[in-house]
Structure 1
């Protein structure tokens, strides 16, 4: 076995003030959160012990990875990729939970240190945290190491925290989404999981978000790492908003990237399976905790943030996006920096 590569990035604790802001939103964590690398990606303290083994995870040539910041169409894309890779076997897809078909690499680094017993029923009913009981005994990355090929792997980690040979070895699909919509969806995700235990208000989540202090942030650095590799033959970059606008076209693109050949009729059938109305009814995809008000598969829309942000938040969001995008070629379909800058 080859010796482990040393991490090329540093891991340090967030400041006490930053930790306080994070923990106003997230329950059950006692260890300080950490920041990783030059960009300062925020992760639970538990990530520190597993960072090296994740960085040295053995990538296989027939792996397919889906990488996103949370709530960017991850589940949507996973279901699409699994079906494209499995000859559109809709019946098998309906029999087996998505978390089993498409496991998450860093799942066990996200487990809260305390209060887990109080909230684990909610976590275990949620696709994002399915398999958690097993993961406590066996780290998620180790389960994937033992998994037979071909493997389908989900992760919310940015490219810089993943194995350095990933793009040289396997195929990667990256999906980006307007950060404002991601923030709203992340808030509802935690609201669904924590229910009555949730302390954070929408305003507190927004404060943490705009300071890049929620897990896996900063979101724009996360997307930009993939955007800069968008011409790599092993990376397929998509925007969530483009999937909403023309899903069959985007499925065709993913199918070609995966070297799969399907007819227009088959692609349209898959697109119908992937409509949000159908995904909501699919219990092996929409792993909701039973709260009828908040669903894991929510609205599937662009621009929903407008109904949640007040005038101050809207201005702060414009400043946030303009500041983080300055000097980058990355542009979101729903945010025109030239137009927004002219308004400031």
Structure 2
């Protein structure tokens, strides 16, 4: 058994002002949020209790991990990878929900400290929370630790908070997306999940996002950690925008990374299965709450550049300033951005 490793990063409580901003967007949390490591990743206070166990999670050579910042094509990529690794078994994919086939590592650390009965009352129709009871009785990382191989693991945590031998041991696919589109999609996710508990509007949510005061933020640092390791043989880095642009091409690249090969007609069928119209109809993939009045889909539009319909002039300027500042000194380049003498121009 490998020796138990101490955390190489610190965990400290956010300031009262920062905690107020976060909780203006996220309801149900009574503990103060925390910042983790030099990049100050935001996590709920309960993360302190589980951070070391997650960092010491035994990684297996036949694991396949998907790492993303939330709302960056995670579910899309999970379904793609699971099918590629399971010989395109569509029948099996229809029988078992994606959250069971491809569980999330840190679910336990994200559960608000409100009564579980209240959670059930508000989330009972949301498939992504149907496994919540298991994560309450048993930590989600422990559930994953006890799974039989091969394991498929989803996480929104950055590489620096994950087991240090991850890239030396398992296959990892990282998906990145334009932060502005992420902000919009992240907002609608919380509107769907929180339902009547959601009290903030998009302007307030954007303010928290651009100040890197939402769970798993800051997004640019998160992505840059993976970008800097994109040449590692066990890491496949892909942009959401490239998946949108040419899905069959990106499927072939992922197949090659995973050591799989399929005929053109099989790739075409998989591409059709992975269309957003198809995924919205999938009961095992689309984690959308049921019930009347729910017009927000877990699988939303699947587009690039949709942020323009939500940002006013002030927010657009703020977003450009945010990206210029966060990307300064990095060689990370999003496909949707270009730079000329430090100024941002839209492609």
TM-score range normalised by the length of the shorter chain? over 0.9
Aligned mates of 1:276, 1:224 — CA distance in 2: 27
Aligned mates of 2:186, 2:294 — CA distance in 1: 17
The reply to whether residue 315 of structure 1 matches residue 317 of structure 2 is yes
SS across alignment from 1:164: coil
Aligned mates of 2:131, 2:59 — CA distance in 1: 22
Answer yes or no: is the 8 Å Cα contact 1:70–1:182 preserved in 2.
yes
Report the Cα offset of residue 292 of structure 1. Answer: 3.7
1:337 match? 339
Distance 1:117 1:78, change over 3 A: same
**What TM-score does the superposition give when structure 2 sets the normalisation length?**
0.96
Report the Cα offset of residue 287 of structure 1. Answer: 1.4
Structure 1: tracts of 5 or more residues without a match: none
SS across alignment from 2:337: coil
SS across alignment from 1:337: strand
Answer yes or no: is the 8 Å Cα contact 1:124–1:131 preserved in 2.
no
2:328 match? 326
Aligned mates of 1:342, 1:158 — CA distance in 2: 26
Report the Cα offset of residue 339 of structure 1. Answer: 7.5
Alignment map for 1:48-197 (pairs within 5 Å): 48-114=48-114, 116-197=116-197
Aligned residues: 343
Alignment map for 1:169-318 (pairs within 5 Å): 169-290=169-290, 291-318=293-320
2:27 match? 27
Answer yes or no: is the 8 Å Cα contact 2:98–2:284 preserved in 1.
yes
Aligned mates of 1:107, 1:342 — CA distance in 2: 36
Report the Cα offset of residue 125 of structure 1. Answer: 3.8
Cα RMSD (Å) of the superposition? Answer: 1.3
Distance 1:115 1:24, change over 3 A: farther
SS across alignment from 1:142: helix
SS across alignment from 2:42: strand
Aligned mates of 2:85, 2:154 — CA distance in 1: 15
Answer yes or no: is the 8 Å Cα contact 1:126–1:296 preserved in 2.
no
Answer yes or no: is the 8 Å Cα contact 1:67–1:174 preserved in 2.
yes
User: 1:10-48, CA deviations, whole angstroms, 9 ceiling, x for partnerless residues?
Assistant: 000010000000000001000000000000000001111
Aligned mates of 1:152, 1:342 — CA distance in 2: 38
**What TM-score does the superposition give when structure 1 sets the normalisation length?**
0.97
Distance 1:75 1:127, change over 3 A: farther
Aligned mates of 1:85, 1:328 — CA distance in 2: 34
Structure 2: tracts of 5 or more residues without a match: none
Distance 1:324 1:128, change over 3 A: farther
Answer yes or no: is the 8 Å Cα contact 1:63–1:150 preserved in 2.
yes
Report the Cα offset of residue 4 of structure 1. Answer: 1.2
